[in-house]
Amino acid sequence: MALDPQGRVARVRLPNAAHVWAPDGQGGLWWTVPSQSKPVSDVAVHLRGGSATVVRDPQPASTTGGGESGAAAGDRLVTATGTTYTLYGPAQQVMRLQLDGKLRDDGLVQLSSGELATVIEERLLIVQRDGSTTTLLGGATSGWPISATGVPASQWTTDGQWFTGPDGKLWGYDGSHVVRVDAPGKVTVIAGPAQGVPQAADEVTVIGSNLYFELGTDVVRLEPTR
């Protein structure tokens, strides 16, 4: 979902050749496609407000194994193929990081600060642009949901959805509650069922200050409390 040129929430149809895609949290959408040049490289496209910006990766596309993931925040996009992470930034910047460990499906978050968050081997990590990492929570193969209180952070499961919240910080949705990760081992519960958070939604999309929860063909909007 994204905003159309008239500022209305709409579903955007992506090119068939798109490798990865991710909403930018502001109503725009990123995706990557292979270039037409030889050797083939990746081209990142940022669509917002009806106009598109293209960022070309100067290096040939990766041929290493592993699935692809993508995440975005504003004018930043990160893609992951195997253990290689490609960061697309403002002013046509493109850089790469190498991170050991298997990235979980949908376990990649691009933060507005330029940092990344990843779920690798049951741990939620914050990743600096120099590749250094800090464990935020998790580690147990099974445990308590992130909204649970009174348990060690190592026992929180990393199951759920992780994304950049409306404030640009790392947020999570465990199928019941929405939380914000403030520091290693510290989370704040933003909202739960009493505030209208849907249960077991399929997807969460941030557009501006609102959260959109997809449940099958239905979409539920959660507005901030003023």
The residue to which tokens 């509650």 are assigned: 177
Mean pLDDT (the chain) is 92
Q: Report pTM.
A: 0.93
Measured distance CA(139)–CA(9) in Å, rounded: 37
Three-state SS at 154 = helix
Q: Indicate if the pLDDT at residue 225 is higher than 90.
A: no
Q: What is the DSSP letter of 8?
A: -
Q: What is the pLDDT of residue 67?
A: 60
Q: What is the pLDDT of residue 5?
A: 85
Q: Tens of pLDDT along 40-66?
A: 889 999 999 889 999 999 888 765 545
CATH number of 1-98: 2.40.10
Q: Indicate if the pLDDT at residue 13 is higher than 60.
A: yes
Minimum mean pLDDT among 35-49, 113-127, 174-188, 204-218: which range? Answer: 35-49
Domain boundaries, the chain: 1-98, 101-226
Q: Domain 101-226 belongs to what topology?
A: Tachylectin-2; Chain A (2.115.10)
